[in-house]
Amino acid sequence: MNASLHLPGRIVSLRRQLVLKGLLPMTVVALAMTATLAVMQFRALGSEAHAVARIQAVRLAGSVNGVMGDDALRDALTRALSRSAPTQRAILYRDDAPDLIVTSGRDAPHRHGLHVRLSTAAGQLETVSDASALRERRTAATLMCLLLGAGVCGVFFLARRAVEHDVAQPVDRLRARLVQALHPRGTHAGTPDDPVRAIDTLLDELVQLRARHEAAMADALRQRLQDIARHTRFVEQIGDHFRQPLQALSLFVAGMQPGEDLRQRAVLGQMRTSLTRLTELLDGLLEMARFDAGAVEPAPTAVLAADLFVRVRSHVEADAMRLGVDVRWRGGRVPFHADGALLVELLNRLVSCAVLSTPHGRVLVAIRRRGDAIRLEVRDNGMGVEPAEQARLFEEFTRLPGQPGYGLALAVARRIADTLGGHIGVRSSPGRGTLFWVELDHAAIGPASRGVVSALIRHAAS
């Protein structure tokens, strides 16, 4: 990284850089323009005063044309001078007679007058005009230019303070923050005195740190993917190694004939129940391991709620009939976009929990649309759950009241909801039932046409 504000040679401070390269040139230009304006004003005032004096000299020269005699000439010049206030003296130089000098009585010092010389028929005419008005105007112009220069200098000092407050100090603070962020323990070897170069050096370190961080993140991601693949293979191998003995043991128990001995029948029934529960435990643990390892990737497709209902009903129908539970379904015509297989597994676990905890009760399964989201609800009128226990329902080995098993169904359901990018929750009141809900953001799609809905329903029924 190369900084564009690097100065060759001696390192100077940022404030001096800003003054030397920014404010000072503009101030010098402004002062030069002020001086130029003063010179132009002086010249304009002098030109104007000389033009007025020359015009009056021309008038005086015209008053003596054709006049003969000293008295007549003096009288003509006197009358002309009375009508020309700025002109205070007229001198007529003659070759064949003495010079004729006429004054207006308002003589000014000779060195402060404006002298104009013209040629007339009677000789050379020189006029002297009062220059006090010119001096006053030049003095006013000088004061104006001095005030303008003082204003430029004042703006320079104010701008210098503003630059120090609004630019230099924030840059120093930025430098300090970069140093603190990159070297929180003060282990850096030092940075240049120039803040610009110092920030440039710190940014180089920041770029290098980001490159190392990205490389480390890439290595960590690659390691994580390898761990997921290894964990997935391990879970599959564990499942295979455990299932084979369990299946063999199940076949062995199924082939046993206890005869008429009631004690043997009871032992055989306990063995079958234990095998069933052990198989359920193994299935639950393997399911959680698959989701925790990231081995399950959702594959969203267009799904109709009726399709989910048909597939879930086939799983829970036997338990519902055995326990006398009335299961009702609402919202079968709602279409949405999600992974149908994972949703069936999720809904099956929630409905099974509701059916098993509500013997001789009612369970309502509903799917509805909320904006661009889809909400699944499973409501029962069972015994409910205490508020203190609701926060732990989706943890491992937490069972609903009166429900058999190891309490893994809701833990797996939470992992399925997380995999689908949704939210899962529960509301319950003791003695009034329980409501499980799942909300999938951005899963809703436009209402399906009657033909599409009918086709999906026929496909679900088949």
pLDDT digits (tens, 9 = 90+) for 147-175: 988 988 888 888 877 776 777 667 777 77
pLDDT, position 402: 62
**Residue 129 forms beta bridges with which residues?**
87, 114
CA neighbor of 365 nearest in space, from 338, 405, 393, 325:
325
pLDDT band at 439; cut points 50, 70, 90: very high
What is the distance, to the nearest Å, from the Cα of residue 100 to the centroid of all Cα atoms in its chain?
91
Question: Taking a C-beta distance cutoff of 8 angstroms, is the pair 338, 300 a contact?
Answer: yes
What pairing do the DSSP bridges indicate for beta strands 87-93 and 123-130? antiparallel
Judging by beta carbons within 10 Å of its beta carbon (0-12, 13-18, 19+), is residue 197 exposed, middle or buried?
middle
- pLDDT recorded at residue 124: 82
pLDDT tens figures, 268-324? 777 777 777 777 666 766 776 777 666 678 889 999 999 889 999 998 999 899 999
pLDDT attached to residue 189: 53
Mean pLDDT for the stretch of residues 185-198:
59
pTM of the model: 0.49
pLDDT mean across residues, the chain: 78
pLDDT at 330 (0 to 100): 92
**For 397-412, what is the mean pLDDT?**
73
At 134 the pLDDT is: 82
pLDDT band for 398, please (50, 70, 90 cuts). Answer: confident
pLDDT digits (tens, 9 = 90+) for 115-132: 888 888 777 888 888 788
The predicted pLDDT at position 8 comes to 37
d(Cα 25, Cα 19) in Å, to the nearest integer? 8
Looking at residue 3, what is its pLDDT? Answer: 40
Mean pLDDT of 103-116: 67
The residues of the chain that CATH labels 3.30.565.10 are 298-461
- Say which CATH topology domain 191-295 has: Helix Hairpins (1.10.287)
DSSP label at 97?
S
pLDDT exceeds cutoff 70 at 97: yes
Per the CB < 8 A criterion, the answer to whether 94 and 100 are in contact is yes
pLDDT of residue 364: 95
The answer, yes or no, to whether residue 2 has pLDDT greater than 50, is no
Which amino acid makes up residue 336?
Answer: F
| Residues sharing a CB contact under 8 Å with residue 196, sequence separation 6 or more, in sequence order | 3, 5, 6, 14, 17, 171
User: Which tokens hold the place of 13?
Assistant: 């401070």
With a cut of 50, say whether residue 426 has pLDDT above it. Answer: yes
Query: Is pLDDT above 90 for 404?
Result: no
- 259 pLDDT higher than 70: no
Pairing status of strand 326-330 against strand 362-370: parallel
**Mean pLDDT along residues 311-339:** 91
Q: Which residue has the higher pLDDT, 295 or 87?
A: 87
- DSSP 8-state assignment for residue 83: T
The mean pLDDT of 233-255, rounded to a whole number, is 70
Domain 298-461 has what CATH class?
A: alpha beta
When pLDDT is averaged across residues 130-143 and rounded to a whole number, the result is 85
In this prediction, residue 425 has a pLDDT band, given cuts at 50, 70 and 90, of very high
Locate CATH 1.10.287 in the chain: 191-295
**Residue 224's pLDDT band (cuts 50, 70, 90):** confident
* 307 in Cβ contact with 329 (< 8 Å): no
**Range 422-432 average pLDDT:** 90
pLDDT value of position 118? 83
Number of neighbours of residue 342 by Cβ within 10 angstroms? 19
Split at pLDDT 50, 70, 90, the class of 9 is: very low
Q: How far apart are the C-alpha atoms of 180 and 205, rounded to whole Å? A: 13
Provide the 8-state DSSP code for 84. Answer: -
Angular region, 9: left φ>0, alpha ψ -120 to 50, beta rest: left
Q: Is the pLDDT of residue 377 over 80?
A: yes
